Structure 1
Amino acid sequence: MKTLITQLIKFGLVGVVALVIDMGILNLLVGLFHMHNVLAGSISFLISLAFNYVASMRYVFTHRSDMARWMEMAIFFISAAVGLFINDAIIWMSTFGMNHDAMITQHSQYWIRTNIGKLVAAVVVAVWNFVIRKWLLDDKRTDAVNRLRPRSRRLTQPELDERWERSFAHRLGEWSLDHTPRGWPR
């Protein structure tokens, strides 16, 4: 339980810094340059994603010895692409129905609605990212959820190891090691 809470706190701190970067760039592009909110949201999301990747892999999630680094990066960037789609869809919906030139003619309302949409998108994407990364990138042999069970119903370490061996995440990791091109880091 303690490690899950610690991981959630680290994930949250990295996410807050990434959100500050994302919101700052979004507001600069929409507020100062009157850029379309979806384009500005995409640019700001991708810039904050670079920070998020480095910080998440360094401070939040640990490298798994049973998964190749290329697979970790592929999972991160595929989940980020889905996150970008979610982000852009929510930002687009936030100003849906406004004039096509609302970024200029209704600038204040456009800016406020864009920021509300961005905040909603940030929450939805953060949940998506944590769930997918926890499922596929994090080593589950310690299974923090097991510690939440009553002592009489907790799985033993051999049972946790057996569950881990059968898990999709472990099988995907093993597959990635078997299919890593020569010379690539494992």
Structure 2
Amino acid sequence: VEIIKSRFVKYSMIGGASALVDWGLFYVLAIILDIHYILSGTISFTLATSFNYFIGITFLFDSTTRFTKQNEMLLVFLISLIGLAINLFFLFLFSSWFLFSLMGSKILASFFTLVWNFSMRNYYVFKSPNF
């Protein structure tokens, strides 16, 4: 249990940096440039997820897993694609149904995605973290 907590804390720190990338890009695209929030969310999430993957395998997860490198990247991509769907669903829900601001909705949606991404990467894709 302590190892899981430690991994989650480290993943949250890495995720926090990725979230800043995601939120910053989203703000520029959706708020400043007035690009539709779903497209803005897709672009910002995709770039932040790429950043997260490379930082994660460098500082947290062992890049050698039970999968080949190609399969590892494919699995991370598929997990991230589902994470994107979760993120966009909650972005839509909070902004369109609950009428929260776009930035508030984006930040809330990120927390739901964090749980999904950490769980799938920690328990399925990567066999051990780098400590």
Interval containing the TM-score (normalised by the shorter chain): 0.7 to 0.9
Q: Counterpart in 1 of 2:67?
A: 67
For 2:108 and 2:34, the matched residues in 1 are separated by 21
Q: What 5-or-longer segments of structure 1 have no aligned partner?
A: 99-109, 141-186
Secondary structure in 1 matching 2:63: coil
Structure 1, residues 94-140: CA drift from partner, whole Å, max 9, x if none? 23269xxxxxxxxxxx8x62112111211110000011111212326
TM-score (norm 2): 0.86
Post-superposition offset of 1:5? 3.0
> Structure 1 residues 6 and 97 mapped into 2: Cα distance closer, same or farther (>3 Å)?
closer
1:127 aligns with 2:102: no
Secondary structure in 2 matching 1:35: coil
Q: Counterpart in 1 of 2:91?
A: 91
Alignment of 1:95-114 (within 5 A): 95-96=95-96, 113-114=101-102
Structure 1, residues 1-44: CA drift from partner, whole Å, max 9, x if none? 44333322220111000000110111111221111111111111
TM-score (norm 1): 0.63
Assess if the C-alpha contact under 8 Å between 2:65 and 2:72 holds in 1. Answer: no
Secondary structure in 1 matching 2:101: helix
For 2:118 and 2:43, the matched residues in 1 are separated by 22
Alignment of 1:4-23 (within 5 A): 4-23=4-23
Q: What 5-or-longer segments of structure 2 have no aligned partner?
A: none
Structure 1, residues 128-185: CA drift from partner, whole Å, max 9, x if none? 0011111212326xxxxxxxxxxxxxxxxxxxxxxxxxxxxxxxxxxxxxxxxxxxxx
Q: Which amino acid aligns with 2:18?
A: A
| Larger Rg over CA atoms | 1
Alignment of 1:25-104 (within 5 A): 25-64=25-64, 66-96=66-96
Secondary structure in 2 matching 1:76: helix
Assess if the C-alpha contact under 8 Å between 2:18 and 2:48 holds in 1. Answer: yes
Q: Counterpart in 2 of 1:136?
A: 124
Alignment RMSD: 2.0
Q: Percent same amino acid at aligned positions?
A: 23
